[in-house]
Amino acid sequence: MQPLDVKVVEQVLSWLKSGKPVWFCTVLSTWGSSPREPGSLFAACNPAEWVGSLSGGCVEDDFLNQLGSAESLKPVAIQRYGDGESKGAIRLPCGGILTVCVEYIQPSETWISHFSEYLDAIRGRKLLSRKLDLQSGSVSLSPASVLQSPVDWQGGDTPVYVRIGPAKRLIIAGISPVAEYCVQFALALGFEVIVCEHRQEELARVSLSGCQIVTAFPADYILQPDAVHAQTAIVSLTHDPRVDDTTMLDAVNTSAFYIGVMGSKRTSRNRAERLKRIGQLDEFTLARIHMPIGLDIGSKTPAEIALAVMADIVAKYRAVH
């Protein structure tokens, strides 16, 4: 899931606690070009108050224009966009087709409890499967496996199963010119970005937006409960062995799907020897660390290195998810 989806569930909870009914939408499937993946979320409580994304704007506008109609007040419905087959159907500029599940939810303690647990899952505290009965509109949550598909729906009135897991997260150890570009690229790629920087001079030097800045030593932060989950990448980009080495020594003991540290091939060989000696790391554990970090694209500038880093992270993420 993406940070945008975290905001959706947070807002849904806020609306329900305020006594407002909510339209809660989940992307079930896509065909062709589509900016959002199955499992992506969108919600609204009226045409002027909404959060999230289904496409790039055209689907959202059409959906919001229908709020309040008899069709929109059904407890659950399946809507299809982009095929052009039904009357008044819209076509997506990208040429894709989108299937969306729409739930109309009245505020209650049961629903507040449901979405509170949902929020815990996407914040990284658990992995759940959400079962939705398309005939009754009833829902239930149960433990899920990482092998479960993000969305499992066989069509028609068969139940919908949605895997609810944490949003993609990137933890950057230390601010540097490469780290600054990584923040920008990662945010554009839908990552929740956390920058750990304990050096006051570096904090004063830059102004980063869109990410969370933690004024703590990186190795201390990643050992905190809920800091790292299976959707987390950890990178250290400072050229300071005190930061980079200690971050790697603790990162290998987490469930992060990607761990990497910047440096030349020679620096990386020397670091590998230090980590083996100081941390008593075996070859398997050491192999978890990408060093030198990033895809080999002949990068030279900070922006190019950051591009190589994020490309490598995305490649690894897609390979295991």
Residue 70 confidence (pLDDT): 84
pTM above 0.75, yes or no: no
Residue listed under structure tokens 């966009």: 81
Residue 88 confidence (pLDDT): 43
* Tokens describing residue 166: 């944490």
Residues with Cβ < 8 Å from 150, sequence gap 6 or more? 37, 38, 39, 162, 163
Q: Which residues of 233-246 are buried (b: 16+ CB within 10 A; e: fewer)?
A: bbbbbbeeeebbbb
Residue 206 confidence (pLDDT): 81
Burial class (CB in 10 A: 0-12, 13-18, 19+), 58: middle
Question: Which superfamily is assigned to 169-320 in CATH?
Answer: NAD(P)-binding Rossmann-like Domain (3.40.50.720)
Residue 87 confidence (pLDDT): 39
For helices 109-122 and 3-17, what crossing angle results, to 10°? Answer: 160
SS3 12: helix
For helices 265-279 and 241-251, what crossing angle results, to 10°? Answer: 60
* Tokens describing residue 276: 């083996």
pLDDT along the chain (321 residues), means of 10: 81 97 93 72 94 79 86 90 56 69 96 95 84 94 83 92 89 93 91 90 84 91 88 91 92 94 92 91 93 92 96 90 64
Burial class (CB in 10 A: 0-12, 13-18, 19+), 87: exposed
Domain boundaries, the chain: 3-164, 169-320
